[in-house]
Amino acid sequence: MTFLDTILQALLDLRGFLAGYFVPALPTIKFVSFIISAFFLYAIIYLLVKMKWLSSRIDEWTDTFGVASLFHRRSLRIWRDVLKKLHSSDSKDWGKAVIDCDKILGELLLLGGYRGANVHERLMFVEPGTLSNVDALRQAHMFRERIQGDSGFALTKEEAVAIVRTYAFAFRELGFID
């Protein structure tokens, strides 16, 4: 026997020895491997969503292929809903109207080329000369964050109307509404 034959025979013997232990446990090993793989797949997807990697790629593709009109139509539909919610007698609807206005502003700023992970970051890049009420928009955005973050925050109808007017003024300046 040559040296290579000896090594090959030793490896085959080792395989036969280990197979005796692992073959009965193979279903358990497969199950544990599946659970670990599923966990890591979930972790990857979760991190991609949290880092907003996927949404930024989608934004780049929609900019490339001119899907801006789709955003415009959807935003106009949301704007009509905002006006309906503002005329409601329910205070929760008033808060939702402010939140929806902020979403529209975020999309408009994104379409205008202002990059950022959220509306707050995009507003930081807006120059006062671009929008005459950028400071008022920042204040309105702070109200939106309070509405969404503080469940005990009570918004009056007058406040909601004033905030929506602030957004509406910016929407007119940006050419979104007439």
Tell me the pLDDT of the chain (178 aa) as tens digits. Answer: 789 899 999 998 888 888 888 888 889 989 999 999 999 999 998 888 887 777 777 766 766 665 556 666 777 788 888 889 888 888 888 889 989 999 888 888 887 888 888 888 888 888 877 888 888 888 998 989 888 887 777 888 899 899 999 989 988 888 777 6
Q: Which tokens in the block code for residue 63?
A: 């900019």
Distance CA 140, CA 159 (A): 10
State the DSSP string of 46-72: HHHHHTTHHHHHHHHHHHHTTTHHHHH
**Would you kindly state where each structural domain of the chain is located, as residue ranges?**
1-51, 66-173
Q: Which CATH class is domain 66-173?
A: mainly alpha
How many residues comprise the chain?
Answer: 178
How many Å apart are CA 34 and CA 37, to the nearest integer?
Answer: 5
Q: Is 175 left (phi over 0), alpha (psi -120 to 50) or beta?
A: left
Q: What pLDDT does 147 receive?
A: 86
